[in-house]
Amino acid sequence: MIEIDGDFVKQRIARLRTQQGVSARELSLTLGQSTGYINTIENGKSLPSMAMFLVICDYFKITPKEFFDDETEAPKLLLELMNESKRLDEKSLESLLSIVKNLKK
């Protein structure tokens, strides 16, 4: 179990934002906040309110649980992979599982 603190929150937002290729300014404005809003979070000067945290999760298309799952580097991609794999037949799923296991080596 990870210890959740301000450092985790700011690092997680920065990582998710970077993966999306969006600037802190752009994310701030998209969330309806001032241009420096995300910078204040990522610099450790403040934390988002619970309501804004939920908006941030919605922006990244992840659940709060996925936000705090530090073992998942790219939760949005993992969710997309899972959704796409639901359409595969059993043989294709076995092939995909084999590929994933080989990638871990």
Element (H, E) at 57: helix 50-60
What does the pLDDT read at residue 4?
61
Using alpha carbons, select from 63, 98, 75, 90 the residue that is nearest to residue 15: 75
What does the pLDDT read at residue 81?
87
Distance CA 101, CA 29 (A): 41
Distance separating the N- and C-terminal Cα atoms of the chain: 24
Residue 45, Cα to own-chain centre: how many angstroms?
21
What does the pLDDT read at residue 74?
77
Per-residue pLDDT reduced to its tens digit, 32-45: 999 999 999 999 99
Residue 6 has pLDDT above 90, yes or no: no
What does the pLDDT read at residue 3?
56
Q: 29-33, 46-50, 64-68: lowest mean pLDDT where?
A: 64-68
Distance CA 64, CA 73 (A): 14
Average pLDDT over residues 74-87: 84
